[in-house]
Amino acid sequence: MEIEKLTRMKGNQKVTMLTAYDYQTAKILDEAGIDMILVGDSLGNVILGYEGTKQVTMSDMERHISAVARGVKHAHIIGDMPIASYDNKVDALKNSKRLIAAGAHSVKLEGLNSDVIKALISSGIPVMGHLGLLPQTAIDLKVKGKKREEAERIYADALELDKLGVYGIVLECIPVALSQKITNGVKSLTIGIGAGVDCDGQVLVVNDMLGMLQDHKPKHVKLYANLHDIIKNAAQSYIDEVKAKTFPTDEYSFH
């Protein structure tokens, strides 16, 4: 989906976004009609088994963006810029071009780095910002912007990102009142995750909303399925049948 069409949805229609990291999941989400797919550095946690996002590399992002791109016909694909890939303008431009070449339509980066964002946009690379809880640099994974000073800083950063020309801003784990204020104060799309219903759109980690991860469920995640138990039960049934010699039957055999 083109950015112009997405931005016209502000104030008219909610924008939907989910993460995806592989061909099959991306294909299913695209067929379902999702507006945007984020190939997030959250793949470190949910796909690669890292403790967080800090170990994710550019090569990781390129590989997974390429897989997602092969499954998508309609959705807008966003490539997450991994930590340390946009510390300066030169690196940011080089690495963002790598993600675009891999199949992303735009890139997302955390925080306010005006020089880097300005350089990317002036080079024709669409940028989505990310404010509030910033997993790449956060010391603790808590709600941000509850205190007035912090809320004012997040709001000011949102206005600056908007002026720089980002087409959207992810607002992660901030109070509803603050996300509403930001949404009303910027031309950019606001995409919430733990930021309330007033944002222009919403995003969730697909593995979270499908119930694949059982060890931790954030407050902002609604379970739309319980694939953990479905997959586990299916695997256990398979194990039982193979050991009992009831699979494969003649129906599944060749003669």
Q: Is 56 helix (H, G, I), strand (E, B) or coil?
A: coil
Closest CA relative to residue 19, chosen from 79, 62, 71: 79
Measure Cα distances from 8 to 28, 55, 139, 148, 197 in Å: 25, 36, 36, 32, 18
Active site residue 172: yes
Question: Cα(73)–Cα(32) distance, rounded to whole angstroms?
Answer: 11
Q: For residue 227, how many C-alpha atoms fall within 13 Å in the half-sphere facing its CB? A: 9
**Residue of 149, 172, 241, 251 marked active site:** 172
Which tokens hold the place of 94? 């080089």
- Taken in order 111, 164, 157, 218, is the CA torsion positive or negative? negative
Report the catalytic residues. Answer: 172
